Structure 1
């Protein structure tokens, strides 16, 4: 009975945030089953100059073999192999390799693969015809053609059938990046073809984007799902849209160009000195083009180069992140909500977490993301214990459950950012544990100076065990002194940090880091148990550079 009550509670606190269009859209999506429209394709538009887009890593390793998510597979069991993860099969239907690094050398493979896909995936059949993979495939096929490759008549016909199908399967029940991908695909199809039908696709896509761009791209440039990975994907989307509109000799909305400038600044601010993204919410390297590749793409589209220079304190106010830096260190702090209330699918229970780089190397890291789906490992990676923040009563700060759902959510409050001499003091609290007896509140202070930073945690109320975890990059090794109150952090053979507890008790645990899908690297974490609801730890740089 208790389990049923808890499950009902999770459902209620999840669905109560949904928009009416998501509920009605879900009913329509599952009840309405349109038939594919197999009429002849419209004429193709005569396109102008197409700029080389951002490149991903190659994923096609042979005529019928692939590597997605760091896992190899082939087509021997078809396009929806039940022995492979659904996300792996989705990637098979995306056709990303058509526009990946070195794609021109694999053109014959691509031609054969397109032909095989059409033969083995009849319209409206299989996962490849779900709206999201359909959207990504339309874009990739059009990009490939605009780069100078020649479609067969059958492929042109299939592309039109896919666009017509997508028009009837728009993902209003999901919204967010899915609906954005649908709209982008319709714009690409509308720019590739000519005539009344193509104009309808184009206008539908542009009308959706007219609402979604200001909705999804916040005033500080961040993507509203607050994931660094999905932000990079959204930036690629925006650059692609500018590219395809220009190639069709169509005017680009000024809002898009302004948003792209803000988005590039946001992405640069949320990267470590190694040039790659930080890991807040769902985030992994190798899915989106790299930040460097996206920046080169923007420059090829004649956007001015981003200087990559930041002040000592950069507050991304609308998305809720703070970047602090000095000559040696970069500290990235999460004082954000988990995402839009009606769309928290890529959220982690990571409120008040942070990441640290020192002398260009990542030192303290969130655990990252290596799996989707609904299994226990997905649940663990979304949980609070996988992040650099405080766990109370072994509960998550936000009730993440299933693969992409969240019930009750932590909400940040009382944020302050102050400068004291050469240090910045950031303070914030969240109420994610208010559902527990006594309604405990977690409050954290970061004091970031020239040679050290101090993390102070306070949990109100009594009777609940509270622990702060600090996860270290795999190249780091931790030591614990006999007093149990101090130790060192080594990067390779070099001491880089000295840590000292002022309040609390500490021990070391084995942990794991997941920089890419399908990757798990062993590492360590320092776990500090709060004493009477308090802990204070000092991390000091060991040597002068």
Structure 2
């Protein structure tokens, strides 16, 4: 075991994370919620009464992988699937998002059958299908489903309602304080939204549920304040997780509006609900503004850190430069181009599991089409793909060949890490500059100078401590085509109706790589490797013409 790596990983943890891990494991082992075994018998009886052909197959697709199921032989657990099945795929199966994503539209009996089947076959609240993050996502979906039933199919809805109550109790025991970050906010959101629903259904507010709601409101206030920077960005610096946490905060806001209708007057619960209301009303527009800035002209988010190409927020506005100083991004948007650069530390320091080695990396679009892209996020479970996507060479930045910015290890760990020491935008000269120290103490400097139809990039390195060639990388989007007949030092490319050129005095070679616009979706593409064996300096210019 590498004790230095282990020390540099755990020294950033909060005490609640250190203490919380064994405490969480103990609670998972000792505590139970309700009597899911008894409820599973009821679910078995009820699903047998449904007018549904249990032998008609159907297909569910997540993470670009489709599987065919037969209702009578439905599977929920990892032991029932091939060993290579991604855990995240199984999580998505148990989230029940597919109740609302169109895959089972027009099949209400099948939807109800599958919910009852899950209740029947998941009788142990300590199993993997009852892990708190999975429970959190499933609860929100089942509550939405119940709200749409409007009292129809009462025996069936009552069974689902009982299961929701039991899962809510299990989640109350299992809040993920040992993990923190998006997991904890998702737990609190689900617990809050579900408890509000349960109170509304019961028609009365018991002392236990009042205490739970007040606790959730206080914790949500604390976590929303903690997890979002002053500029609106989520502190894990992933546009994908920002999108998910924005959705969480919006659902909390909606549930809290309903809570305000029945919270006892002059109660501590009402006081916390009003604070939460003010906080959500203040933060949601800011969170949406941040997401709009981080959305490419194609309507999809930037792929920094763990992020796939999900739909963002498209807004038409005048050309502008944005330095999102708190969350660590610089964005320049013009009539025909979009440039976004990562200029922030691994974040948060106590849980950087979704961080990549991408400080100084950028993405670039022309006329609404991506030209230079991030490698993306292909898998959480496949160790090789996970490392390939997180490592420094997967991004558009300067580096010493084979020397990582930060010490990434396992799937979600970082030991010794890089840090940004300077960033500044000179609006008078349209120039952005930044400096960082990598894990070895080597200092890198990147300067980007913007003109109407060109971008000049100047990369420098100081205080070398690791042997290797100084290089700078550019990952081309798969749609980019190389124009043949280039002169030495100047290379032309086509994408759509646009031509762009990269000019440099550095040596340049092409190399294949795999781009992941989504989990489980590998796309072959090419990257440019610029190198300078004589000195730690590389300059290049990207210029373009649009028709």
Query: TM range, normalised to the smaller chain?
Result: 0.7 to 0.9
Give yes or no for contact 2:186–2:245 (8 Å, CA) kept in 1: no
2:120 is aligned with 1:119: yes
2:452 is aligned with 1:428: no
Residue 39 of structure 1, CA deviation: 6.9
Give yes or no for contact 1:348–1:382 (8 Å, CA) kept in 2: yes
1:43-89: CA deviations, max 9, x gaps?
xxxxxxxxxxxxxxxxxxx8663111111125557212342211111
Separation of aligned partners in 1, 2:136 and 2:521: 27
Residue 519 of structure 1, CA deviation: 0.4
1:189-232: CA deviations, max 9, x gaps?
21111232332332222121011000001111100000000000
Q: Which residue of 1 aligns with 2:250?
A: 239
Separation of aligned partners in 2, 1:37 and 1:388: 49
Q: Following superposition of structure 1 onto structure 2, how do residues 481-520 of structure 1 map, counting pairs within 5 Å?
A: 484-492=488-496, 494=497, 496-502=499-505, 504-520=506-522
The SS at the match of 2:377 is coil
The SS at the match of 1:355 is strand
The SS at the match of 2:124 is coil
Separation of aligned partners in 1, 2:213 and 2:165: 13
Residue 486 of structure 1, CA deviation: 1.4
1:160-188: CA deviations, max 9, x gaps?
11111111111110011111111011111
1:255-285: CA deviations, max 9, x gaps?
1111111100000000100111011000003
Bigger Rg, structure 1 or 2: 2
Residue 312 of structure 1, CA deviation: 1.9
Q: Following superposition of structure 1 onto structure 2, how do residues 131-142 of structure 1 map, counting pairs within 5 Å?
A: 131-142=132-143
2:254 is aligned with 1:254: no
Q: Following superposition of structure 1 onto structure 2, how do residues 269-348 of structure 1 map, counting pairs within 5 Å?
A: 269-286=293-310, 290-292=311-313, 308-309=316-317, 311-348=319-356
Separation of aligned partners in 2, 1:15 and 1:223: 22
Give yes or no for contact 2:366–2:498 (8 Å, CA) kept in 1: no
User: Displaced runs of 4+ in structure 1, greater than 3 A?
Assistant: 62-65, 74-77, 101-104, 148-151, 247-252, 461-464, 479-484
Q: Following superposition of structure 1 onto structure 2, how do residues 27-176 of structure 1 map, counting pairs within 5 Å?
A: 27-32=22-27, 33-38=29-34, 65-74=59-68, 76=73, 78-82=75-79, 83=82, 84-101=85-102, 105-148=106-149, 150=152, 152-176=157-181
Change (3 A) 1:328 1:284: same
Segment drifting more, 424-433 vs 189-198: 189-198
Matched length: 494
Separation of aligned partners in 2, 1:231 and 1:253: 20
Segment drifting more, 353-362 vs 120-129: 120-129
Aligned Cα root-mean-square deviation (Å): 2.1
The SS at the match of 1:219 is coil
Give yes or no for contact 2:60–2:103 (8 Å, CA) kept in 1: no
Instruction: Find the partner of 2:543 among 522, 540, 543.
Output: 540
**Larger helix proportion, structure 1 or 2?**
2
Change (3 A) 1:482 1:153: closer
Give yes or no for contact 1:444–1:455 (8 Å, CA) kept in 2: yes
TM-score (norm 2): 0.86
Separation of aligned partners in 2, 1:259 and 1:310: 24
Give yes or no for contact 1:114–1:155 (8 Å, CA) kept in 2: yes
Segment drifting more, 265-274 vs 472-481: 472-481
1:432-456: CA deviations, max 9, x gaps?
14x2xxx421111111110100111
Separation of aligned partners in 2, 1:259 and 1:467: 41
Unaligned runs of 5+ in 1: 41-61, 296-306
Separation of aligned partners in 1, 2:164 and 2:479: 47
Segment drifting more, 223-232 vs 524-533: 524-533
